Amino acid sequence: MLLACKDLSLSINGAPILRDIDFQLSAGKVLGLIGESGSGKSMTAYSIMRLLPGGSEIGGSIELDGNDLGTFSEAQMCQVRGNDIGMVFQEPMTALNPLLTIGDQVAETVRVHGDASRAQAQQIALDTLRRVELPAEKYSPARYPHELSGGQRQRVVIAMAIALRPRLLIADEPTTALDVTTQAQILTLLRRLVDEDDMGLILISHDLAVVANTADDIAIMRNGRVLDSGPARSIFSQLKHPYTQALYAASAHVPARAGRRVDRAAPLLVVDQVSRDYRLPRQSLFGPRRYFRAVDEVSFTVYRGENVGLVGESGCGKSTLTRAILGLDAIQHGTITVGGEPVLAGMAMPRELRRRMQVVFQDPYGSFNPRHRVARLITEPFHLLDNPPTGSARSRAIDEALESVGLTTADADKFIHEFSGGQRQRVAIARALIIHPELIILDEAVSALDVSVRAQVLDLLAELSGRYQLSYLFISHDLSVVRSVCDRVLVMRRGKLVEQGTTNQIFEQPAHAYTRELIEAVPRLPEAPG
């Protein structure tokens, strides 16, 4: 047995974090560790690495190749880390030191363990970068992290972790921050490395589908305990444990979308031949101005009551387009109209038009002022009204907005830090709803939420769209979510709209090669029993 955790427990400053964790992993196998945020899956990884915050106390035993890591000193653990156990993290954008070249960072793993010369370490780094498909001919080891994309950086992090061919690799949400196509490539890479090196892999994820296709065994965690575990095949074919069932149901959840009326005769948002150029710095003092076209002649229409999805990889121009529609940036070509009125950038945009559109962002915490109470936060759009309600009319509007998103009137006096992630997103939706807009732009609005919370928020959005005949422009990199809530889908790539059609068309008969590539890259949940 490569790794065996027996009765592993962890408390930090007396607060219990993990309890009775038991699992085993053999060489050449992949263990999937699944759980929602706060379930303790990352803390389990840090317990194995013994990279825990101050005040931590570990109980039970962690055995690597029969050696109890609990008896190791910190100096011995430094020998184990990087040499016997490698680790890969969630955020490739920040996991690398921005001031050192990628070659040096990979070579450092070799240099701190053993006495390889600088030249030898550089050679091992080159070979390892080649193994993770970053050959020196195309990706010079003298590059700095900021010169690489997210997926390429994650490959560098993987190279650092496997440079010394460790026995065990721990990957903590390695693909959560990446696009679907890059995610599929990274998962394939990890599986290949496991097979080549006969290495054990712990793959930590909140996403059932990601783990289901890669792992041999699965452990499902909640509140610091392992609730269900076993071979991947039987976990999903039997769905014995009620929590596993609930997770599965939430992951596969499709909101009920009956009773909605899409008014095809009433176009609400019309984007016509819109282009957005960014000015690049001049190459030389008197050289010609250069431009980067982030959005290239994009045209589409969103009708009243319609839910339209916009998908594409990061950098494809989704956010730029969103900013243009909201009137935050000027466009260089084309027109955008909402209800027939042209959208203008900045101060030129009439308030009457602004109040017809609202937006909900991905990070429900970062988009609120932490010093204001909910009542003040959600009434922010009132400044768009000529006669904002006051006194009892104002309280009525607040109560109505909160109740419509499933919160209570008592929540009006709370601060944003008193809410969970899902509740914060409800507050964000209440803020968008309070002036009764016709169009809400949902910019990755459910991407940061746990699956069960995400299912609830999707239900809420579907219900609100039906009740108020709201139109949504639903921007997401998560194709399965788009599929479950949208009437039509737009596919964007490198600033251009490559395909648009009804959700069924796009997912069942994708016409464009890129759409097919995107759909194929989406990890699928295994079939449920019965």
Partner 1 sequence: MLRYAVRRLLSLSLTLLVASLVIFVAIEIVPGDPAAYMLGMNAAPDTVAALRAELGLDVGPVQRYLNWLGGMLSGDFGTSYTYRTPVVDMIGDRLMISLPLALYALTLSTLIAFPAGIIAATRRGSAADVSVMGVTQLGVAIPNFWFAMLLVLVFAINLRWFSAGGFPGWDQGLLAGIKALTLPAIALALPQASILARVMRSSLLDTLDEDFIRTARAKGLSTRQTLWRHALRNALIPVLTIIGLQFSFLLAGAIIIENVFFLPGLGRLVFQSISQRDLIVVESVVMLLVFAVVVVTFLVDLAYAAVDPRLRRTN
Q: Of 161 and 193, which has the nearer Cβ to partner 1?
A: 161
- Note the helical H segments in 50-96: 74-80
Q: Of 147 and 403, which has the nearer Cβ to partner 1?
A: 147
Classified as helix, coil or strand, 75 is helix
Among 8, 34, 43, 96, binds partner 1 (CB under 8 A): 96
Rounded CA gap, 70 and 133, in Å? 36
Q: With both helix axes pointing from N to C terminus, report the angle between 391-404 and 421-433 in degrees, rounded to the nearest 10.
A: 130
Give least dist CB 381 to partner 1, A.
34
Contact letters for partner 1, residues 228-267 (x by CB under 8 A): ----------------------------------------
DSSP run (H or E) holding 284: none
Tell me if 113 contacts partner 1 by CB under 8 A. Answer: yes
Give least dist CB 86 to partner 1, A.
7
Classified as helix, coil or strand, 19 is strand
Among 138, 146, 279, 417, binds partner 1 (CB under 8 A): 146
Rounded CA gap, 384 and 32, in Å? 49
Give least dist CB 10 to partner 1, A.
17
Task: Find the part of the chain contacting partner 1 (CB under 8 A) among 16-24, 275-283, 415-423, 481-489.
Answer: 275-283
Tell me if 527 contacts partner 1 by CB under 8 A. Answer: no
Residues across the chain:
530
Q: Of 143 and 253, which has the nearer Cβ to partner 1?
A: 143
Q: Of 81 and 356, which has the nearer Cβ to partner 1?
A: 81
Contact between 288 and 328 under an 8 Å Cβ cutoff? The reply is no
Among 14, 53, 281, 340, binds partner 1 (CB under 8 A): 281
Tell me if 112 contacts partner 1 by CB under 8 A. Answer: yes
Tell me if 140 contacts partner 1 by CB under 8 A. Answer: no
Tell me if 83 contacts partner 1 by CB under 8 A. Answer: yes
Give least dist CB 439 to partner 1, A.
37
Among 53, 66, 98, 530, binds partner 1 (CB under 8 A): 98
Distance of CA 32 to the CA centre of its chain: 18
Task: Find the part of the chain contacting partner 1 (CB under 8 A) among 199-207, 279-287, 314-322, 489-497.
Answer: 279-287
Q: Which two tokens stand for residue 124?
A: 């091992």
Q: Of 1 and 280, which has the nearer Cβ to partner 1?
A: 280
**Maximal C-alpha separation, the chain:** 76
Q: Helix, strand, coil % (nearest 5) of the chain?
A: 40, 25, 35
Contact letters for partner 1, residues 14-53 (x by CB under 8 A): -----------------------------------x-x--
Q: Of 283 and 369, which has the nearer Cβ to partner 1?
A: 283
DSSP run (H or E) holding 354: helix 351-354
- DSSP-assigned states of every residue in 98-139: TTS-HHHHHHHHHHHSS---HHHHHHHHHHHHHHTT--TTTS
Task: Find the part of the chain contacting partner 1 (CB under 8 A) among 60-68, 153-161, 336-344, 503-511.
Answer: 153-161
Burial code (b: 16+ CB inside 10 Å, e: under 16) for 174-194 equals bbbbbbbbbbbbbbebbbebb
Find, among 82, 106, 111, the residue nearest to 96 by Cα.
Answer: 106
Task: Find the part of the chain contacting partner 1 (CB under 8 A) among 88-96, 132-140, 389-397, 469-477.
Answer: 88-96
Among 23, 89, 300, 472, binds partner 1 (CB under 8 A): 89
Contact between 264 and 469 under an 8 Å Cβ cutoff? The reply is no
Give least dist CB 83 to partner 1, A.
6
Give least dist CB 154 to partner 1, A.
12
The DSSP call for residue 222 is: E
Amino acid found at 25: L
Give the interface size with partner 1 as a residue count (CB under 8 A).
34
Tell me if 87 contacts partner 1 by CB under 8 A. Answer: yes
Among 74, 115, 137, 386, binds partner 1 (CB under 8 A): 74
Rounded CA gap, 322 and 210, in Å? 29
Could you tell me which residues come within 8 angstroms of residue 489 by beta carbon, excluding any fewer than 6 positions away? 308, 309, 310, 311, 482, 483, 500, 501, 502, 503, 506, 507
- Residues lying near partner 1 in the complex (CB under 8 A): 49, 51, 74-75, 78-83, 86-87, 89, 91, 94-101, 108-109, 112-113, 144, 146, 157, 160-161, 280-281, 283
